[in-house]
Homo-oligomer: A and B are copies of this chain.
């Protein structure tokens, strides 16, 4: 609780040692103009000798900027570290921020965390902006943060959102998948959909329906099962589908993990892929290359999503208050052995 003693040199000390004023020393540090070569060298030497490092708090206090950006991931560690999607987004965000000379701060919104601690951190101007990655709808965090004047960009659109967001165009991607299946002559196209409380789940299903309509195929409830994006649930859903006794010659799965599960269930049931049943996934995750047969899937780029989020955030720190239109990232189909 007590205040630790100061040991670190201050700018004033640097200036004194260099025989210049505080202002000049500051100018040297901030790459300033209008400093004589002589003064610059003296200051640089003093900095090196004293091991001076600027105090971020003092600087932030006056500049009102920290040059740091928070990425908040509102998912369990299990998911964060299990799904390659997150690694991709983080890579994209990291490289874009590094280019802009901003520090990335990763915050995991954990259950263990005291309620409100995260809000506090984000609103106390520790960071210049917040990137939020959550795949669920019910979070009010972005609104609470915005209320304090901190810019926020959400990755993965929320249900109603008029807010700044970047998302993959799930509807278009799913349409693409269904159009492909219809294009190779399939007429009984089933789907293993994602959870309906997640945007990705809902809109990929929406795209599936739109795709059927576009191909002049009927929408049949018996061809729809809902999973939870896990591999096990894909396997189980596929079994359910087969157990219903309806014709199925193709399945569109809302993500690759469920598609991998479906492939396993099909193989167990003695159905050949793609001859008897064609399978399409969504994401183009690493697993899509290592299934048997390799998975045809809708390619999305998490890295690009990350970079877009950063671009949007930096934009809105430059022009505060001006809401950006949300951005949808298009997808394309990667055809492999499963269709």
Q: Does any Cβ of B come within 8 Å of A184's Cβ? A: no
Q: Does any Cβ of B come within 8 Å of A214's Cβ? A: no
Cβ A107 vs Cβ B105 within 8 A: yes
Nearest chain B residue, comparing its CB with the CB of A66: B57
Q: Does any Cβ of B come within 8 Å of A49's Cβ? A: no
Cβ A120 vs Cβ B87 within 8 A: no
Nearest chain B residue, comparing its CB with the CB of A99: B112
A103 vs B116: C-alpha distance when bound (angstroms): 11
Q: Does any Cβ of B come within 8 Å of A162's Cβ? A: no
Q: Does any Cβ of B come within 8 Å of A124's Cβ? A: yes
Nearest chain B residue, comparing its CB with the CB of A88: B77
Question: Which of A60, A84, A320 counts the most chain B CB atoms within 10 A?
Answer: A60
Q: Does any Cβ of B come within 8 Å of A19's Cβ? A: no
Nearest chain B residue, comparing its CB with the CB of A123: B53
Which A residues, 82 to 105, have Cβ-Cβ distances below 8 Å to chain B? 82, 84, 86-87, 90-91, 94-95, 98, 101, 103-105
Q: Does any Cβ of B come within 8 Å of A16's Cβ? A: no
A94 vs B118: C-alpha distance when bound (angstroms): 12
CB distance from A114 to the nearest CB of B (A): 6
Q: Does any Cβ of B come within 8 Å of A58's Cβ? A: yes
Interface 1/0 per residue, A120-142 and B, CB below 8 Å: 11011110000000000000000
Interface 1/0 per residue, A137-155 and B, CB below 8 Å: 0000000000111000000
CB distance from A83 to the nearest CB of B (A): 8
Question: Quick one: given A51-B147, A114-B98, A124-B56, are A105 and B108 in contact (CB under 8 Å)?
Answer: no
Cβ A112 vs Cβ B95 within 8 A: yes
Q: Does any Cβ of B come within 8 Å of A27's Cβ? A: no
A60 vs B4: C-alpha distance when bound (angstroms): 12
> A125 to chain B: which residues have CB within 8 Å?
55-57
Q: Does any Cβ of B come within 8 Å of A36's Cβ? A: no
Contact of A105 among B64, B106, B123 (CB under 8 A): B106
> A8 to chain B: which residues have CB within 8 Å?
148-149
CB distance from A186 to the nearest CB of B (A): 33
Question: Quick one: given A87-B78, A105-B107, are A126 and B94 in contact (CB under 8 Å)?
Answer: no
Cβ B148 vs Cβ A51 within 8 A: yes
Cβ B56 vs Cβ A58 within 8 A: no
> A124 to chain B: which residues have CB within 8 Å?
53-56
Cβ B87 vs Cβ A113 within 8 A: no
A185 vs B317: C-alpha distance when bound (angstroms): 68
Contact of A98 among B65, B78, B113 (CB under 8 A): B113
A53 vs B84: C-alpha distance when bound (angstroms): 36
Apart from the given pairs A3-B63, A68-B126, A98-B114, 7 other A-B contacts in the complex at a CB distance below 8 Å? A4-B320, A51-B147, A56-B126, A77-B90, A90-B108, A98-B110, A103-B121
Query: Closest 8 interchain pairs by CB?
Result: A106-B106, A81-B87, A56-B124, A57-B60, A95-B112, A57-B61, A57-B57, A98-B112
Task: Offer 23 A-B interface pairs, CB within 8 angstroms, sorted by A.
Answer: A3-B63, A51-B148, A53-B120, A53-B123, A53-B124, A56-B57, A56-B124, A56-B125, A58-B61, A61-B61, A68-B121, A77-B90, A78-B87, A80-B81, A81-B81, A81-B84, A81-B90, A94-B108, A98-B112, A101-B114, A104-B107, A104-B108, A105-B106
